[in-house]
A = this chain, B = another copy of it.
Amino acid sequence: MKPRHKNVPEQALLAAVAAGHDPNNCTVVSDVLARIGDKWTVLVVMLLQNGPRRFNELKRMIGGISQRMLTLTLRGLERDGLVTRTVYPTVPPRVDYALTDLGRSLGEPVRHLGAWANANAATIMEARRIFDTDIQHLDG
């Protein structure tokens, strides 16, 4: 799972420094977003906060995800050390996915973002509606 954001130019980083603030808070975050910003990752991470889950269990819980994307999502999380994959050589096979400490720690900032989202969702939707209605930006 290659990051969707191929690379954020280093000039942006330098510019951020010149602008007078820590580049860590704008460039590195882009990298994280490239990781968790895809369609399903956050959903999976949040669902796993409650404990290990099996593949099809996750698939059912999410409901609209294809097995392909769930596989890719879990592989990516495993690759980054956020999730562990445990295979039980039984018949039929059983595979458990669980968060690592690192993966669990991601829940915290994500919840912060969730709080912001909840607090401002209505406002954003309203702003969006207004913007789409009176299109004064077509020149007023």
**Which residues on A are within 8 Å of B, measured CB to CB?**
4-5, 7-12, 15-16, 18-21, 24-33, 35-39, 42-43, 46-47, 49-50, 60-64, 78-82, 85, 102, 105-106, 108-118, 120-121, 123-124, 126-128, 131-132, 137
Contact = CB atoms under 8 A, between A and B. Distances in A.
A80 B127 CA distance: 5
B105 A109 contact: no
Count of identical protomers in the assembly: 2
15 contacts: A15-B61, A16-B47, A19-B50, A21-B50, A24-B117, A28-B117, A29-B42, A29-B114, A33-B33, A33-B37, A79-B127, A81-B123, A81-B124, A81-B131, A102-B127
| Chain A facing B: main interface SS | helix
List the 5 closest A-B pairs by CB distance, nearest first: A37-B37, A11-B63, A81-B127, A9-B64, A26-B46
Contacts of A126: 81
Contacts of A116: 32, 105-106, 108-109
Contacts of A132: 79
B117 A31 contact: yes
Contacts of A109: 109, 112-113, 115-116
